[in-house]
C-alpha cells in the first residue's frame, strides 16, 4: 500500500498543528460556531446527538495492520472501545470529545492517517473496489490513480469550499463494485483499442434526496489527464452550482438543470485551457505511486488444497462460512476473505477495539499485513492462502467475525441513524437488528440467497438505500418515525434506483414487511433467479399487493 514520504508526512503533521490551533481558537471564543463549523467538518468532526462524531479517512478502504491496531487503541483510549465502519470505507468514532480531537489526529499522523476532508463541502475520500489488485476480473488496478487523485484533492485551494460535498469513485474491473455511477465523478479505467489505459468518466450521479445515476461525460480520456479533467468539472460546478439551497446544491442538480450536453460543453471549454497544464500526471509519478501497489510476494501454489477440501466436507459450519465469505483471487491458491461485521443482533459495521486487534493480527499473520474496508461495512483480508483459511476462520469465529451471512439478507448495510446522527429522521440500527432476528436461520438465509438490504436514517442516504435490492428509508411524519420501502435498486454495471412500494410503515411492522417481500420472491422466483431478478421481471406490483394486503383489509374493516 502507499507509504508516506516526507512530503505526505509534513502535510498531515501541519494539519494536526493547524487543527489544534483552530480548536483552541474555537474554545477560546475567537471563532464563532458558524466559522468553526466548516473547519471541523472538513476534518470529519460532526456534532451529533450525544457527542461529536469523528470520521477518520481510510483512503480507498486500504489499511495496514499497524493502522488498524492504532484505530483500535484510539477507540479504546478516546471512545467506548469500538468504532463504526461506514459505507464510504471510512471509520467513525461515535463518542470522542471535541477537545481531544487534536490529540487523536496526532496519534493518527504517527501511522500515516488523518481525518482530512472526510466531511464538509469539499472533495471527499476517494473510494474504489474492495478487491482492487486481487480481483480476477480486474483490468487495471485503480489504486495508484486513486492515491494520485487523493493527493491532488487534499487541500485543493480552488475547491476548498464547494457548494456541497463531492465524491469521486474509481474502478478498474469489468464488474463495477465501486458504484461509480452513483458518484459526483465516477471513473472507470479500461484498456482502449491501442491497449492504452483510458478512463470513461461519469458525472452527476448521487444518492441522497434526489437519487440519480451519473451520465457519461467522456467515453475516452487518457489517464494523464485525470486531474485536469476533474479540475474542469469541479470548476464549472464550483462557479455555477447552487448555493442557495443545500438540497439542490449537488453537482447532479446542475447537470440536470443544464442538461449533460451543455454541461459537457462548458467542461470541455474549461478543459481546453487546462489540458497539458502542470497537473497533468507524468509517467514517472504514476510509476512511483504504482510501486506501492505492486503484487504481494505470492507463493506458487496449486489451485486446490486437500486440507481445505477435507475441512469443507467434514465441517458444516466452516463450509457454510466458506460458501459466503470467500472470493476468487487472481493468483492460484489464494482467496480474498470477508470478515463479517454483521453478526445478528448487533449494529452493522461496528467493530470493538479487541476485534480490531484480532483482525490486525490475522492480516499480519495470513495476509501480508494489509486489509480493506468494504462499502458493505465488512473487513477484508485480500490475500489468504487456501491452506490457511481454516485457521483464519477459527480465529475469526472466536471473536464474532465469521458470521456466515456475507451477501445474504442479514448482511445489512446500515447508517448510524437516529441513535447517533443528529440529521436522522428515524433510527436505523434497531430496524437492522429486528430484521436480522426475524431471519435468524441460516438455512433459510441461504435459500433466499444473494440480496442486498440497505437502511438510511434520512434522505442523506448514507446507507445507500436507493441502490439496495430492498431499501429502507427513515422518514419523519408528524414527529414520529416511519419507514419507506423501495425495491429493485441495484449497484454495479446494471445499477438502478429502487421504486417506492407505497405508504410508509412503523418500526414494528418492518420485519414483517421484509418477510412478505421475501415470501413473494420465494413463491414467484424461477430457478437461479435472485431477488433483484424477480423484481425486475415482475415489477413491484405483486410485491406491493402482498405487503399491503392486510393493510387494505384493516382499512376496509374500519370503513365497514
Partner 1 sequence: MSNLIQLTNGKAHISDDDWQLVKLPASQVEARKQAGKIVLFKLTGEKTVSDEQIANTVIPAHGKIILPLTVFIARKAELQTRLSKNELGVWLDTHEVLHTLIENQADLNALPIIAVHVERFADGRIFSLGTLLRTRYGFKNDLRAIGDVLRDQLFFLKRSGFSSFAIRADRNATQAMISLNDFSTPYQGAADEAQPAFRRYHRAV
Cβ-in-10-Å burial (0-12, 13-18, 19+) of 529 comes to middle
From partner 1, ligand SF4, none, which one binds at residue 494 (CB under 5 to 8 Å depending on kind)?
A: none
- Relative to beta strand 168-171, strand 185-191 is parallel
Task: Name the CA radius of gyration of the chain, rounded.
Answer: 23
Residue 557 is a binding residue for partner 1 (CB under 8 A): no
Q: Which three-class secondary structure string do you get for 424-447?
A: CCCCCHHHHHHHHHHCCCHHHHHH
Contact yes or no for 361/65 (Cβ under 8 A): yes
CB 459, min distance to ligand SF4, A? 7
Which one of ligand SF4, partner 1, none interacts with residue 118, CB within 5 to 8 A by kind?
none
Q: x-or-dash pattern for partner 1, window 127-166, by CB under 8 A?
A: ------------------------xxxxxxxxxxxxx---
Identify what 424 binds: partner 1, ligand SF4, none; CB under 5 to 8 Å per kind: ligand SF4
User: Within positions 86 to 125, which residues make up the interface with partner 1, using CB under 8 A?
Assistant: 121
Question: What order of strands is seen across the sheet that includes strand 326-327?
Answer: 62-64, 370-373, 379-385, 334-339, 326-327
Distances (CA, A) of 513 to 85, 99, 192, 211, 549: 27, 44, 47, 23, 11
Site for partner 1 (CB under 8 A): which residue of 24, 97, 288, 477? 288
Number of residues that bind partner 1 (CB under 8 A): 53
Q: Choose which of 38, 430, 502, 511 interacts with partner 1 (CB under 8 A).
A: 38
Query: In the bound complex, what is the minimum distance in angstroms from residue 264's beta carbon to partner 1?
Result: 15
In terms of CB distance, is 111 or 455 closer to ligand SF4?
Answer: 455
Shortest distance, position 383 Cβ to ligand SF4, whole Å: 32
Nearest to ligand SF4 by Cβ — which residue? 457
108 binds, among partner 1, ligand SF4, none (CB under 5 to 8 A by kind): none
- Among the listed ranges 93-101, 210-218, 238-246, 498-506, the one in contact with partner 1 (CB under 8 A) is 238-246
Quote the CA–CA distance of 25 and 239 in Å, as a whole number: 31
Task: Using the minimum distance from each CB to ligand SF4, give the nearer residue, 391 or 459.
Answer: 459
| Dist. CA 72–CA 157, nearest whole Å | 33
Contact between 235 and partner 1 per CB under 8 A: yes
Nearer to ligand SF4, 352 or 456 (CB): 456
Length in residues, the chain:
560
Closest approach of ligand SF4 to the CB of residue 452, in Å = 16
- Smallest gap from residue 463 Cβ to ligand SF4 (A): 6
Indicate whether 24 belongs to the interface with partner 1 (CB under 8 A): no
**Judged by CB under 8 A, does residue 241 bind partner 1?**
yes
Under the binding rule (CB under 8 A), the answer on residue 536 touching partner 1 is: no
Q: Which is nearer to partner 1, 291 or 422 (CB)?
A: 291
Q: Which stretch binds partner 1 (CB under 8 A): 7-15, 471-479, 493-501, 507-515?
A: 7-15
Q: Which residues contact 162 (CB under 8 A, 6 or more apart)?
A: 121, 122, 123, 234, 237, 238, 241
Residue 416 interacting partner from partner 1, ligand SF4, none (CB closer than 5 to 8 Å by kind): ligand SF4
The Cβ-side half-sphere exposure at 89, using a 13 Å CA radius, reads 26
The side-by-side arrangement of strands in the sheet containing 413-414 is 413-414, 453-456, 470-477, 480-487, 499-500
Interaction of residue 254 with partner 1, rule CB under 8 A: yes
Tell me: does residue 284 bind partner 1 (CB under 8 A): yes
- Residues in CB range of 209: below 8 A, 6 or more apart: 247, 459, 460, 461
Residue with cell 443544464: 258
Give me the least distance between CB of 533 and ligand SF4, in Å please. Answer: 28
- In angstroms, the Cα distances linking 32 to 135, 243, 423, 435 are 49, 21, 21, 43
Q: Cβ closer to partner 1: 21 or 447? A: 21
Instruction: Tell me the backbone φ, ψ of residue 197, rounded to 5 degrees.
Output: -70, 125
Cβ atoms within 10 Å of 139's Cβ, excluding its own? 15
Contact of residue 239 among ligand SF4, partner 1, none (CB under 5-8 Å per partner type): partner 1
- DSSP class of 100: G
CB of 341 to ligand SF4, least distance (A): 16
Residues 292-331 that bind partner 1 (CB under 8 A): 292
As a dihedral over the C-alpha atoms of residue 389, residue 405, residue 180, residue 173, rounded to 10 degrees, the angle is 30
265 binds partner 1 (CB under 8 A): no
- Tell me whether residue 104 or residue 462 sits nearer to ligand SF4 (CB atom): 462
The whole-angstrom separation of Cα 168 and Cα 256 is: 18
Neighbours of 264 (CB within 10 A): 21
Pairing type for strands 52-56 and 91-93 reads antiparallel
Select 386 or 472, whichever has its Cβ closest to ligand SF4: 472
Q: How far apart are alpha carbons 227 and 537 in whole angstroms?
A: 41
Least separation in angstroms between residue 509's CB and partner 1 is 39
The nearer residue to partner 1, 41 or 180, going by C-beta atoms, is: 41
Backbone angles phi, psi at 382, to 5 degrees: -85, -20
Q: Please give the backbone phi and psi of residue 475, each rounded to the nearest 5 degrees, phi first.
A: -130, 160
| Among 248-256, 353-361, 456-464, 511-519, the segment contacting partner 1 (CB under 8 A) | 248-256
Which of the choices ligand SF4, partner 1, none does residue 461 contact, using the CB cut-off of 5 to 8 A by kind?
ligand SF4
H or E stretch covering 215: strand 215-222
Which residues of this chain interact with ligand SF4, rule CB under 6 A?
A: 415-417, 421, 423-424, 456-458, 460-463
Does residue 260 interact with partner 1 by CB under 8 A?
A: no
Residues in contact with partner 1 by CB under 8 A are 5, 7, 10-11, 14-15, 18, 22, 31, 35, 38-39, 121, 151-163, 227, 235, 238-245, 248-249, 253-254, 257-258, 273, 277-279, 281-282, 284-285, 288, 291-292
Amino acid at each position: 500500500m502507499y507509504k508516506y514520504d516526507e512530503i505526505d508526512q509534513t502535510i498531515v503533521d501541519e494539519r494536526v498543528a493547524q487543527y489544534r490551533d483552530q480548536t483552541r481558537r474555537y474554545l477560546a471564543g475567537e471563532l464563532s460556531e458558524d466559522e468553526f463549523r466548516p473547519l471541523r467538518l472538513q476534518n470529519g468532526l460532526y456534532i451529533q446527538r450525544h457527542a461529536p462524531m469523528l470520521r477518520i479517512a481510510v483512503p480507498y478502504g486500504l489499511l495496514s495492520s499497524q493502522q488498524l491496531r492504532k484505530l483500535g487503541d484510539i477507540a479504546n483510549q478516546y471512545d467506548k472501545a469500538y468504532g463504526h465502519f461506514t459505507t464510504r470505507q471510512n471509520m467513525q468514532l461515535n463518542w470522542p470529545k471535541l477537545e481531544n480531537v487534536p490529540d487523536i489526529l496526532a496519534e493518527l499522523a504517527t501511522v500515516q492517517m488523518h481525518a482530512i476532508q472526510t466531511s464538509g463541502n469539499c472533495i471527499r475520500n476517494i473510494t474504489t473496489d474492495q478487491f482492487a489488485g486481487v480481483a480476477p476480473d480486474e483490468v487495471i488496478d485503480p489504486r495508484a490513480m486513486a492515491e494520485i487523485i487523493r493527493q491532488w484533492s487534499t487541500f485543493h485551494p480552488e475547491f476548498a469550499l464547494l457548494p456541497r460535498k463531492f465524491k469521486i469513485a474509481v474502478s478498474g474491473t469489468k464488474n463495477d463494485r465501486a458504484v461509480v455511477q452513483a458518484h459526483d465523478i465516477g471513473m472507470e479505467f479500461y484498456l482502449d483499442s491501442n491497449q492504452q489505459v483510458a478512463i470513461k468518466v461519469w458525472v452527476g450521479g448521487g444518492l441522497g434526496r434526489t437519487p440519480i445515476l451519473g451520465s457519461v461525460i467522456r467515453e475516452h480520456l487518457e489517464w494523464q489527464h485525470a486531474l485536469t479533467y476533474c479540475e474542469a468539472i469541479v470548476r464549472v460546478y464550483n462557479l455555477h452550482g447552487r448555493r442557495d439551497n443545500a438540497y439542490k446544491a449537488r453537482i447532479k442538480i446542475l447537470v440536470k438543470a443544464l442538461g449533460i450536453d451543455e454541461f459537457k460543453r462548458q467542461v470541455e471549454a474549461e478543459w481546453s485551457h487546462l489540458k497539458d497544464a502542470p497537473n497533468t500526471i507524468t509517467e514517472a509519478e504514476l510509476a512511483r505511486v504504482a510501486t506501492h501497489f505492486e503484487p504481494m510476494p505470492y507463493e506458487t501454489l496449486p489451485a486446490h488444497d486437500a486440507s481445505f477440501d477435507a475441512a469443507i466436507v467434514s465441517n458444516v459450519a466452516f463450509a457454510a462460512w466458506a460458501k459466503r465469505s470467500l472470493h476468487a483471487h487472481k493468483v492460484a491458491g489464494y482467496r480474498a476473505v470477508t470478515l463479517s461485521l454483521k453478526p445478528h443482533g448487533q449494529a452493522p459495521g461496528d467493530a470493538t477495539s479487541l476485534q480490531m486487534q484480532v483482525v490486525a493480527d490475522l492480516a499480519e499473520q495470513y495476509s501480508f499485513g494489509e486489509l480493506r474496508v468494504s462499502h458493505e461495512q465488512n473487513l477484508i483480508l485480500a490475500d489468504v492462502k487456501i491452506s490457511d483459511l481454516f485457521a483464519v476462520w477459527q480465529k475469526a469465529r472466536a471473536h464474532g467475525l465469521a458470521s456466515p451471512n456475507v451477501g445474504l439478507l442479514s448482511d445489512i448495510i446500515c447508517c448510524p441513524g437516529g441513535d447517533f446522527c443528529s440529521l436522522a429522521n428515524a433510527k436505523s440500527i434497531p430496524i437492522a437488528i429486528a430484521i436480522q432476528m426475524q431471519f435468524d436461520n441460516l438455512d433459510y438465509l441461504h435459500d433466499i440467497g444473494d440480496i442486498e438490504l440497505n437502511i438510511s436514517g434520512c434522505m442523506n442516504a448514507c446507507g445507500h438505500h436507493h441502490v439496495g435490492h430492498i431499501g429502507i428509508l427513515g422518514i419523519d411524519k408528524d414527529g414520529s418515525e416511519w419507514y419507506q420501502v423501495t425495491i429493485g435498486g441495484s449497484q454495479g454495471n446494471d445499477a438502478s434506483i429502487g421504486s417506492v412500494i407505497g405508504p410508509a410503515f412503523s418500526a414494528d411492522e418492518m420485519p414483517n414487511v421484509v418477510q412478505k417481500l421475501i415470501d413473494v420472491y420465494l413463491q414467484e422466483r424461477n430457478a437461479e433467479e435472485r431477488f433483484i431478478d424477480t423484481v425486475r421481471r415482475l415489477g413491484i406490483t405483486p410485491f406491493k399487493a402482498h405487503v399491503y394486503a392486510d393493510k387494505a383489509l384493516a382499512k376496509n374493516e374500519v370503513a365497514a
